[in-house]
Structure formats: C-alpha cells, structure tokens
Amino acid sequence: MVKVKDLFKSFGDLAVLKGISFSVTQGEVVCIIGPSGGGKSTLLRCINHLEDPDSGTVEIAGQPVTTGNRGFWKKDRHLNQIRSEVGMVFQRFNLFPHRTALQNVTEGLIAVKKLPRQEAEEIGKKYLDRVGLADKLNEYPSRLSGGQQQRVAIARALAMEPKVMLFDEPTSALDPELVGEVLAVMRDLAENGMTMLAVTHELGFAREVASRILFVDDGQIVESGSPDQVLGNPSQARTANFISKVL
Amino acid sequence: MDLAVVWKYLPVLAKGAVTTVELTALAVVFGTFLGLLIALAAISGSRVLKGCARFYTWLIRGTPLLLQLFVIYYGLPQFGLTLSPFVAAISGLSLNAAAYIAEIIRGAIQSVDKGQMEAARSIGMSNLQALLRIILPQAYRRMIPPLGNEFIALLKDSSLVATISMVDLMRTAQQMYVSTFRPVEIFAATGALYLVLTTFFTLTFGRLERKLAVYE
C-alpha cells in the first residue's frame, strides 16, 4: 500500500533522513517510534510530500507520489489527487478554526471531491458519529477539548475515505487524561482494517495495536519487527536504550 | 469665535468634505485591490514577483506622499501625460495606500498558522483553494484593525491633494479662510468635519471586528 525507497532529506546542512526504505501492506498498522529529532515526523511528512524529499521515491497504492512541475498555478494536480487518498492527522490538530466541527469534515468533500453540500453533510455526520462526536456537529473548534478536536481531525481525514492514514504524534499535544479517547478511536480504526502509519510515543498503544514497529533514530531505520521483538527483545543497543528511558 | 460664521460656511465646507469622502472611498477600493495583488506577489513562490512587490513597497513607503502627488501631477506632463487633479489625486492616494495595505494583508496571511495550509493541502486542496477557503477567511479578521488605522490615515492624508489644486475639504477651508479671514471658525469647523468622518470609520470598523469574531 505504501512503498518508500531510499528516502533522503536534509534541511540545510542537517541530514534528517539518511536513506529510508520500508513498505506497508494493506491493513497493516505500523508504528514509528524513536527519540525526538530522529526524523520520524519528517519521514511521515515526506510520504504525502508536505516535505519534498531530496531523493528517493514514495508509492501509494501503486502510484508514485511526485511533486512534479513546480509552476505556481498548474502544479500538483496529481499530488492533490494522491493527498486526497491519504489521511493525515497532525500533532496540533490543525482544525480550521473558522469552520464548525461538521464544516471541518465536509470541507474536503465539498472542495476536493466536489460533492453537493447535503451529501457531504450526511457523510460528515456519519464520521463524526463514528468518533463519538455526533452531539458536537455545530461547535467551533475553540469550544472543544483537545481530545475532541483531535477526533474531529481524524473524522476530517476519514471522511475522504483514504487508503492509508498517517498519524503524526496524534496524542503528544493532549492533556494526559484526554489521550485515551483518541487512542480508542485509533484502535477502532486498526481493528476495522485501516492501513495506518503512526509516529507515536505511546509504546503501550504500539505494543497492543501495531503489526510492526519501526525504530527510527538519526535518520535511519535502526530496527524493525513485531512489537514483541522490538519492544520486548530489541537487538540493537540504541533501541534498548530508548525503550528503557521511555518505559 | 463667532458661531454664526461657522454655520454660514458649514455647507460650503461640507461640499468639500463630500469630495474628501469620494477621494478616500475610491482610494480605499483601488488601494485595497492593488494592495491584495502586491501581497499575493509578495507571498508567491516566484522570485521575480517577490522582488517587484518588495521594490514597490520600498519605493512608496520610503518617499513622502506629497512628493508622489507632485510627481504624478506636475512631473508626468513632462512625459506628455497630463492628468486632471481628480485623477492625479486618486492615483497618488491609491498607489500610496496600496503599499501599506499590501503589508497589512501580507502580514495577516503570514500570521495564519502554517499548519492550516498543511491541513488544507493534506486533504487534497490546491494552493489556490487553500488560500481562498482556509487562509484568507482567517486572515480577514486580523486585517480589520490595522486596515481601520490605514483608512483613517488615508482620509487625513487625502488633505495633501489640496496642494495639487484638488478642491477637497482642506482646500475649501483654505479658500474660505482667505476670503473671510476667520481662521479660528473655519478651521474649527473643518476639524469637526474631519472628526465626524474619522469617527464614522472607527465605529464601522469596530462593529466589523466584533461581527467577525464569532468563532473565537
């Protein structure tokens, strides 16, 4: 479903990704863990080209993700199409503050998928219901808690019916008591067969839900394997060191 | 101070005030339109457009409005382009205001959190869609207070067009003062008219600001 090959990315002199390759098959839940600054978020953002990698390729459902021609007006039609099939959930939610919860979810359906408003709202309500916010349709994000905002953000991504969902530290900006409700939604998605790629610090969640864990440090995949393997019996000293600090 | 003199000349002054309002209104419209284009150029990916926008702002903000009006009204005829005082006044005020308005718009757009653009692009919107549907609606509200200031400044600065034989409120006041020799009455009435106009602007923008604050 997702194929990443030889990804390199530098910011100025700082090499953030130093040749990363991996793939995710349909229905797989892959958690990316590792220390801050190790390149996890950049890796995720390169997958839908929110960052342009310096070299390397990304394929989603067999289609190459390319930025293409960099003219201001006509660029990116292909990229927009692919992005609409990749759901992304951000650490800081990034809900549209001038739109209600429902409008946040219908925005992409109306603007990108060109659905009529009524149909978009039906779909929007369905997904907000799925994340447990059927009673908050008309609230503005500023009136919602962090956990509720993140669930709206997940509904916004799901409504586009993506082939894969990317989560960029979805619970890191939340108060501890709100983390559970977001993880519950993610767990529900995983159990229903969604292909997911999540950068997370929630090792407990990763252990329970992930089909595979990638440990990323210093721009490389240091170790990859099943949760039991990577978390329980790491083969690399760096992995063991990280896990002992976090747990 | 003789109030009778004030009352007597108020209608004439009011006529000048109407011209001042016309000038300001047109300069607001043209200046905002041009300012938006300059702001979009300034944030575009193109280095050429960016350079042009920066040069324009540098030139206009770095020279006095009075000089700009003189160049347009007295200077252009030397190149065979003679403008009426009204057209020269509108052009000068609009071109000048555009530079300041562009900075206000650019600042407001850039103050919108970067994550908003990323979220919009991540659901597949184009740059233009994201700008129109997500970024600008949030930027509008932040533009309102500084734009209010800018429009009030523009209204007052429009008095400079009196120097290029445009008969606005200020010019009318000068003429009345010369013919009546009652400076205190005439200038008090003129000041009062300017205050009425600027107060109207202030109240309108205050209301606009509150109206746009729904989602806070």
Q: Which residues pair with A60 in a beta bridge?
A: A2, A63
Q: Which of A77, A98, A108 sits opposite B123 (nearest CB)?
A: A108
- Exposed, middle or buried by CB within 10 Å (0-12, 13-18, 19+), for A247? exposed
Quote the tokens at residue B124: 């597949």
Supply φ then ψ for residue A145, to 5 degrees.
Answer: -75, 165
Which amino acid appears at position A83 of this protein? R
The answer to whether residue B213 neighbours chain A at the CB level (below 8 Å) is: no
Residues 110-129 of B with CB under 8 A from A: 113, 115-116, 118-129
Quote the tokens at residue B7: 């009352």
3-state DSSP call for residue A33? Answer: strand
Mean pLDDT across A5-17: 92
Residues 30-69 of B with CB under 8 A from A: 44-46
Mean pLDDT across B29-51: 92
CB B123 within 8 A of CB A160: yes
- A and B: number of Cβ contacts within 8 A: 74
Show residues of chain A in contact with B138, CB under 8 Å: 96-98
Question: What percent of chain B lies above the pLDDT cut of 70?
Answer: 99
- Helices B3-43 and B47-61 sit at what angle, rounded to 10 degrees? 160
**Which pLDDT score, from 0 to 100, does residue A95 have?**
96
3-state DSSP call for residue B192? Answer: helix
The answer to whether residue B215 neighbours chain A at the CB level (below 8 Å) is: yes
Q: pLDDT-derived band of residue B155, with 50, 70 and 90 as boundaries? A: very high
Which amino acid appears at position B55 of this protein? F
The Cα B162–Cα A122 span in angstroms is: 61
Show residues of chain A in contact with B115, CB under 8 Å: 90, 92, 94
**Which pLDDT score, from 0 to 100, does residue A104 have?**
96
- DSSP letter for A169, please: S
Q: Which tens digits make up the pLDDT trace of A158-185?
A: 999 999 999 999 999 999 999 999 999 9
Residue B44 has pLDDT above 90, yes or no: no
Provide the shortest C-alpha distance from residue A6 to chain B (in Å): 23
Show residues of chain B in contact with A80, CB under 8 Å: 121, 124-126
Q: Which of B44, B46, B122 sits opposite A50 (nearest CB)?
A: B122
Mean pLDDT across B153-176: 92
Q: Which of A72, A80, A94 sits opposite B125 (nearest CB)?
A: A80
**Which pLDDT score, from 0 to 100, does residue B8 have?**
87
CB B160 within 8 A of CB B149: no
Which amino acid appears at position B129 of this protein? Q
The Cα A78–Cα B4 span in angstroms is: 74
Q: pLDDT-derived band of residue B32, with 50, 70 and 90 as boundaries? A: very high
The H or E element spanning position A164 is strand A164-168
The 8 Å CB, 24+ separation contacts for B6-15 are B6/B185, B6/B186, B6/B188, B6/B189, B9/B176, B9/B180, B9/B185, B9/B186, B9/B189, B10/B189, B12/B172, B12/B176, B13/B169, B13/B172, B13/B173, B13/B176, B13/B186, B13/B189, B13/B190, B13/B193, B14/B193, B15/B172
What does pTM read for this prediction? 0.82
Supply φ then ψ for residue A195, to 5 degrees.
Answer: -80, 125
The Cα B73–Cα B162 span in angstroms is: 12
Look up the ipTM and state it.
Answer: 0.89
Residue A151 has pLDDT above 80, yes or no: yes
**Which pLDDT score, from 0 to 100, does residue A247 have?**
72
Do B124 and A77 make contact, defined as CB atoms within 8 angstroms?
Answer: no
CB A214 within 8 A of CB A31: yes
**Which pLDDT score, from 0 to 100, does residue A75 have?**
59
Give the number of residues written for chain B. 216
Radius of gyration of chain B (CA): 21
The Cα A237–Cα A230 span in angstroms is: 11
Q: Which tens digits make up the pLDDT trace of B90-133?
A: 999 999 999 999 999 999 999 999 999 999 999 999 888 999 99
Q: Which tens digits make up the pLDDT trace of A50-82?
A: 888 898 989 998 888 876 555 555 557 788 888
Alpha helices in A22-111 (DSSP H): 40-47, 77-83, 101-111
Which chain A residue's Cα is nearest to B141?
A98
Quote the tokens at residue B129: 């869609």
Domains for chain B: give ranges and CATH numbers. 3-213 (1.10.3720.10)
Q: Which of B46, B116, B122 sits opposite A96 (nearest CB)?
A: B116
Do A98 and B138 make contact, defined as CB atoms within 8 angstroms?
Answer: yes
Do A111 and B129 make contact, defined as CB atoms within 8 angstroms?
Answer: yes
Chain-centre distance for alpha carbon A94: 13
Mutate to test the interface with A, among B116, B123, B135 (most CBs of A within 10 A): B123
3-state DSSP call for residue A39? Answer: coil
**Which pLDDT score, from 0 to 100, does residue A63 have?**
84
Those residues with Cβ within 8 angstroms of residue B63's Cβ, 6 or more apart along the chain or in another chain? none
3-state DSSP call for residue A223? Answer: strand
CB A183 within 8 A of CB A171: yes
Do B123 and A112 make contact, defined as CB atoms within 8 angstroms?
Answer: yes
Chain-centre distance for alpha carbon B99: 10
